[in-house]
Amino acid sequence: MARPFIITITTLLLVIWMASSVKSAPMSSKPKVILVSMDGFRHDYLSKVNNTPNFDMMLREGVTMPWIRNTFTTLTFPCHFTMVTGLYEESHGIVANNMYDSKTDRNRFRMSTTDDDWWTGHETIWTSAQKAGLKAGVYFWVGSASKIQGTRPERWFPYDGRVPFEARVDTLVKWMSEDDFDLGLIYFNEPDHTGHDSGPEGHATLKEVERMDGILGRLLQKLNDTNLLDTVNIIVTSDHGMAATDSDTKLIDLRDYVNDTLVADVIQQGAMASLIPQEGKASSLLYC
Ligand SMILES: *[C@@H]1O[C@H](CO)[C@@H](O)[C@H](O)[C@H]1NC(C)=O
Ligand SMILES: *[C@@H]1O[C@H](CO)[C@@H](O)[C@H](O)[C@H]1NC(C)=O
């Protein structure tokens, strides 16, 4: 409970590569979509590094937004599920990375939780695509390892952050080319991870941004090699940004506000905290 909050975030990256020749393409080359998330990719990272030829190309030939506004709470799980459901967090129900449901008293939700009943009833972009007869594959995304409305994406994997980014790209391109998938989603846990360790201005973080440019380059090149670059619309975006903390002026110690001897458990902390009071103590938890 005494830990400082790690991130406060408002803006993030959005770049779109439009399939340029969709209209003139042969009928068989139906347009496809790839949605790429690079976690914690702050909106201005590209202005802080020089060596990003692939992003530069997308910025030059595609469409970009100076910033976009994400949903609160600005955490990986809620924001990613908003992206694929179009719903605010209170409507899709994934309101934090860690949650507790007092009504059912079922197990706590953690980022590794895939029990279907946390994810019910909210149509995702891949469920919509599959209902429309399209083929969708997801190389990691929040919710993709759970059955939503009874279905999973046609291809999916249990989350494993150790899978090299290159392997994720290569598999996704195979789905789009050899298997003729219409929709592909792919998730990378960087530059978020390095950003948390080194801060948004950190050398290692900016190096990681350059590495992600190389991963984007691999995706573009593989699509080009398989003659798909003109039929795939690529959206590169992120779930949230990253701000440096300052433990002197930006730290709220919740013990100044709640009587921590009455707290049974801390479920989530950060820009938003979630506390469980001891039995019958909810009303005396807050200092007045
Ligand atoms: C795609 O490949 C062609 C032929 O090798 C090349 O001329 C073109 O620059 C490539 N486009 C991209 C975006 O890499
Ligand atoms: C916190 O709660 C404990 C247990 O009820 C109580 O003894 C203590 O006086 C409370 N502290 C304050 C500052 O209210």
What are the tens digits of pLDDT across the range 182-226?
A: 999 999 999 999 999 999 999 999 999 999 999 999 999 999 999
Residue list, ligand 1 pocket, CB within 6 Å: 220-221, 224, 229
Residue 181 pLDDT > 90, yes or no?
A: yes
pLDDT at 21: 47
The reported pLDDT for the residue numbered 9 is: 38
The H or E element that residue 17 is part of is strand 14-17
Residue nearest to atom 10 of ligand 2 (CA): 259
Contacts of 166 (CB under 8 A, 6+ apart): 215, 218
If pLDDT is split at 50, 70 and 90, which confidence band does 227 have? Answer: very high
Statement: residue 147 has pLDDT above 50: yes
Residue 40, pLDDT above cutoff 60:
yes
pLDDT over 80 (residue 29): no
Residue from 54, 58, 224 to probe ligand 1 pocket by mutation (most atoms less than 8 Å from CB): 224
Q: Which pLDDT does position 36 carry in this prediction?
A: 98
CA 36 to each of CA 19, 99, 127, 207, 215: distance values in angstroms, whole numbers, following the listed order: 15, 26, 17, 19, 11
Q: What is the pLDDT of residue 230?
A: 92
Tell me the CA–centroid distance for residue 268 and ligand 1, in Å.
47
Active site residue 205: no
Q: Which is catalytic among the residues 73, 76, 124, 237?
A: 76
- Is the Cβ–Cβ distance between 281 and 273 less than 8 Å? no
Mean pLDDT, range 100-128, rounded to an integer: 82
Q: Give yes or no for residue 262 CB within 6 A of ligand 2.
A: yes
Q: Which of 282, 274, 252, 277 is nearest to 97 (CA)?
A: 274
Say if pTM beats, i.e. exceeds, 0.85.
Answer: yes
Pocket test for ligand 2, best of 255, 257, 261, 284 (most atoms within 8 A of CB): 261
Q: What is the pLDDT of residue 67?
A: 79
